[in-house]
Amino acid sequence: MPWLIAVAAPAESRAVLCGLDFDRDPPAEWDVAEVSPGLWLLVTGIGKTNAAAGVARALGSRTFAGVLNLGIAGSLPIAAPVGIGDVVIATRSIYADEGLLLPDGSFIGCSDMGFPLGPFDDWGVRADPQLLDHLAHLATVTAPIATVSTCSGTDTLARDVVERTWAVAEGMEGAAVGHVAARLGVPFLEIRAISNTTGDRGSQQWAIRPALARVADLTTGLAAVLGR
């Protein structure tokens, strides 16, 4: 069975195609196309809603061995930070802001409120263990990745995301892609190249082009392992 690579943005799709030496245009949003033997590409558009809907449509249209959410992400301020250009494979993809924020600053997840989001807990969607083991050699680190609706453009918000999730990086789609995969019983993994730091906007560091080059390299590695 083929594998589905889901990316959010056109720049990420172009990086995937570059890594596969595929010289045609990427598919339109929410369409899927075979871009290498055993690998299909989906461009969802950014954010949780686009990601979930696009992946659900794709998984409903044909059978895939698994879905890989591939793209770039921002690093979070943790004790052992990941650097720009590093690759993180998520052990869990965690919804960082689905829940209740209380006046004292504490946060209660949906499950603890009695409204579980899906067949997983508020610590998020676990990576498929076999996929994680099979592809871990492509990563700088394996660790949780947070999925946010509001990117951390202040130090306070970045610290809050870390305190809620203990994630090393944040993106905007991973948990939603994993959510759909979990509902449908499809193996899932999130893989991100770090393109920027988070925190106060004026102090952030950015290197999108090198991160996209890492996405291209990652895709080459994925094809070598999965595209058989």
Six-digit token string for 59: 């998984």
Any idea which residue has 């589905």 for tokens?
4
Q: DSSP secondary structure string, 74-140?
A: EE---SSPPPTT-EEEEEEEEESSSEEE-TTS-EEETGGGT---BSBBTTBEEPPHHHHHHHGGG-S
Six-digit token string for 205: 């560091």
pLDDT of the chain along its 228 residues, tens only? 999 999 999 999 999 999 999 988 999 999 999 999 999 999 999 999 999 999 999 999 999 999 999 999 999 998 778 999 999 999 999 999 999 999 998 899 998 999 999 998 878 999 999 999 999 999 999 999 999 999 999 999 999 999 999 999 999 999 999 999 999 999 999 999 999 999 999 999 999 999 999 999 999 999 999 975
Q: Which domains does the chain have, with CATH numbers?
A: 3-226 (3.40.50.1580)
Q: What pTM, to 2 d.p., does this model score?
A: 0.96
